[in-house]
Structure 1
Amino acid sequence: MTRLATTRSPAQRPGAAAWLHAALSSAPLAAALAIGALHGPCRSDTPEPPAVTVYVVSHGWHSGIVVPAALAQAHDWPARREFAQAQYFEVGWGDRAYYQAADPGWWMGLRALLWPSPGVLHVVALPGPPQAAFPGAPLLAVRISHQGAQRLAASIAASHERAGPLPSAHTEALQARRLPDERGADGAPIAFGPALYGQGRFYASTERFHLFATCNVWVARRLRDAGLDLHPAFALTSGMLFAQLARHVPAPPAPAASAASVASGAPIVPAAD
């Protein structure tokens, strides 16, 4: 009788089980290494959004921020809807009564400094670059990141005070006298009169003005929201603010020496502005 040859199972062969287990265990690792070699190191293919240039302009004691109009549109500023043709917006901030007064006296200014009072935003639509809108005025260009620019625009948008529900008695009185509600719809920004110059408007602000929260301090706070290393408490005046901002503005390149000056060994004197 012919006996069929029998083959022992892997369990019956010494070391076979261990070899099979090792092979199966290493398969996922090998597959992962192969996929990684095909795709290369992990990295994001999305480019970093470009930085944004904003400006700070000085009007003597007062300063303002100039931002591209696209930032205002992205964060639904009311001025963007009203002045849709603007390329830039200059935003200032100050005491609500003093800033809008046609002829504010010294007493009004002193009262604004000593007693915390409601603030107001002064938004001016610029049809072109700020250098053309404010010729001769001190102006600093500051580069901030794309994310910082979004935070800056969002913080300015958040400063707008919006109309809330009126007391029922006030509403009934307006309806009885057939008078319009000048505060606008519930939740809408509260707008005041036209800007002091150019095309623009005043808007109510949720923030309060006082001696240690001036217009320059407000500008420093907004730029700090954008990521700049500023100390708003030490920016009470526009001069103090600009001194801090100078650290964030690249120095102009040194003037190139002429061939004649180099040859003669004469000292190089920068040209006067």
Structure 2
Amino acid sequence: MFPYFKRVVVVLFTLLVLGWLIHFLWPQAERPMTAPANVKVHIIGNGWHAGLLVPAAAINARLPTLKQRFPAATHYEIGWGDVGFYRAKTVTAGLAMQAMFASQGSVMHVVGVADVPRFLKGSDSASLCVDDAAYQRMASLVADSFARSAQGQPEDAGPGIYGDSQFYIANGRYSALHTCNRWTASVLEAAGISISPRISLTASSVLGAARSSTMACTPSP
């Protein structure tokens, strides 16, 4: 098991360094925004994984099943990842290697959140604001990431790993170059955040891009 673990450490460290270097050395221009940026979204880092915390309304409009499953939620924390690694109660080097090089599928993890400040307390997170059009684009990309049954409904993949949460079967294949962080970066890019998904392989690179964004919140009138 030790040689496998050593390989995982080397691969993850290499990705971390690569993501850090590209984030700070790759020039990127912020996309202009003209509409009021009054929809607050959050990026949450959890070790090697970065996910999103977004208002539930636009997601519910596209996936009514989530509204039924999480009736009290005002926001959802949503992440995409490897089916084996993400759902594992005990993370092993073998699962990490399988996720990166021989993934058996992917899942969405959804947490219903009713108290955002309490949920974010103590977390490694970044917050920014987008306009409603950007928020709608984010919601569409998130909704499209859920696999659907013949009836067009998200497919249940079992209980989640913390809080009021649930797994669902997802579209897309996880790999060393198509990670949960790249998925999160893709959603942020759809909102106009200056970030390159193809090189956002680590949670730190995604959080760094969010923190360097100039998309500040517009005070409500």
- TM-score, structure 2 normalization: 0.77
Q: Give the SS at the match of 2:128.
A: strand
Structure 1 residue ranges without an equivalent (≥5): 1-47, 165-185, 252-273
Displacement after TM superposition at 1:134 (Å)? 3.1
Residues 49/77 of structure 1: CA separation in 2 closer, same or farther (3 Å cut): farther
Report what 1:133 is aligned to.
119
Residue 85 (structure 2) aligned to one of 85, 98, 105? 98
Q: Give the SS at the match of 1:248.
A: coil
Report what 2:42 is aligned to.
55
Report what 1:78 is aligned to.
65
Please tell me the residue identity of whatever aligns with 1:211.
A
Displacement after TM superposition at 1:231 (Å)? 0.5
Q: Distance in 2 between matches of 1:72 and 1:233?
A: 25
Please tell me the residue identity of whatever aligns with 1:124.
V
Number of aligned positions between the proteins: 182
Superposed, which structure 2 residues align to 1:106-145 within 5 Å?
106-129=93-116, 131-145=117-131
1:162 aligns with 2:127: no
Residues 127/83 of structure 1: CA separation in 2 closer, same or farther (3 Å cut): same
Q: Give the SS at the match of 2:205.
A: helix
Please tell me the residue identity of whatever aligns with 1:212.
L
Displacement after TM superposition at 1:53 (Å)? 0.8
Note the alpha carbon deviations across 1:202-247, whole angstroms, 9 max, x for none.
Answer: 0110111000111111100011111212101221111111222222
Please tell me the residue identity of whatever aligns with 1:157.
A
Residues 50/144 of structure 1: CA separation in 2 closer, same or farther (3 Å cut): closer
Identity of aligned residues (%): 30
Report what 2:211 is aligned to.
246
Task: Report runs of 4+ in structure 1 exceeding 4 Å deviation.
Answer: none
Please tell me the residue identity of whatever aligns with 1:214.
T
Report what 1:191 is aligned to.
156
Note the alpha carbon deviations across 1:245-268, whole angstroms, 9 max, x for none.
Answer: 2221569xxxxxxxxxxxxxxxxx
1:148 aligns with 2:113: no
Residues 109/121 of structure 1: CA separation in 2 closer, same or farther (3 Å cut): same
- Where relative contact order (Cα < 8 A, 6+ residues apart) is larger, the structure is 2
Residues 117 and 210 of structure 1 are in contact (CA less than 8 Å); yes or no, is this contact kept in structure 2? Answer: no
1:219 aligns with 2:205: no
Superposed, which structure 2 residues align to 1:221-236 within 5 Å?
221-236=186-201
Residues 74/196 of structure 1: CA separation in 2 closer, same or farther (3 Å cut): same
Residues 79 and 201 of structure 1 are in contact (CA less than 8 Å); yes or no, is this contact kept in structure 2? Answer: no
RMSD: 1.8
Q: Distance in 2 between matches of 1:80 and 1:49?
A: 27
Q: Distance in 2 between matches of 1:242 and 1:104?
A: 23
Residue 56 (structure 2) aligned to one of 61, 69, 73? 69
Residues 37 and 131 of structure 2 are in contact (CA less than 8 Å); yes or no, is this contact kept in structure 1? Answer: yes
Q: Distance in 2 between matches of 1:98 and 1:241?
A: 20
